[in-house]
Each structure stands twice: as structure tokens, then as C-alpha cells.
Amino acid sequence: MLVRDAMSTVVLTIGPAHTLRQAAALMSARRVGAALVLDPDAGGIGILTERDILNSVGLGQNPDAERTHAHTTNNVVFATPTWTLEEAARAMAHGGFRHLVVLDRGEPAGIVSVRDIIRCWAPARQHAASLTG
């Protein structure tokens, strides 16, 4: 199975000047764990995750004052739609993150998460087990 089969194609995109509270509210409303941060001054595409927001709040920082640009990961590992889910899972495990931005011809095409991969793998594993059992 390929990344294109698992990725979410509706991607939340925010700017670097959004506050963390605004980002959290948008992520919560869309029920997503990550947002793309488009910041031409920082090199283009970054990612802000729920963990980034949680870490900031855990440090006692004010989510109404903190801006996304200060918490965005800019050295993003990108996947392509034609990566296998195994390649995506390996990249996530190696990098210690739970979301991969998917680029197609240099443009954001989606995000694939660990949850997306599990959602695809679980039925396939159950089906294989029923054939051998």
C-alpha cells in the first residue's frame, strides 16, 4: 500500500503569525494533529503539531502570545505519494515523529500520520490472519 492510499488530502494550512491558541483551535475544529505552516521567510513549508503546542503550554508559555513560527519544525522530512507505507513508517520511526508532509511535484499534497498507517494496516493484517487461520 502507498502513502497516497493513506494520506489525508485536506490539509490545514496556517501562517507563522498565528498564535498557538489560534492554531490549536483550528486543529481541534478540523480534528487534525498537525498543520502546515507556510512561511517564505523560514524556507517555505514547516509543520506544527499538537505536541509542539503541548510542549509550549507545558513550559508555561502563553498560547495567546506565542506565535507558530517559534514552534514550527522547518527541517521537515517529506514523503511522496508513491512511497510505500513501510517507507513512511521507517522515516517516522527513524526521525521520532508522527506526521509526514507529502509533496507531489514540489507542492503539498497531504499529510500522512501514524494513525493513517495503522488504519490501513490493521484491516490488511486481519484479512491475512483470517486466510491463514
C-alpha dist (Å) from residue 125 to 3, 55, 130 = 17, 34, 9
- pLDDT (tens digit per residue) in 21-56: 999 999 999 999 999 999 887 778 999 999 999 999
| Backbone CA torsion sign across 112, 115, 121, 127 | negative
Report pTM: 0.85
CA 80-10-104 angle, to 5 degrees, is: 20
- pLDDT (tens digit per residue) in 59-118: 999 999 999 999 999 889 999 999 999 999 999 999 999 999 999 998 999 999 999 999
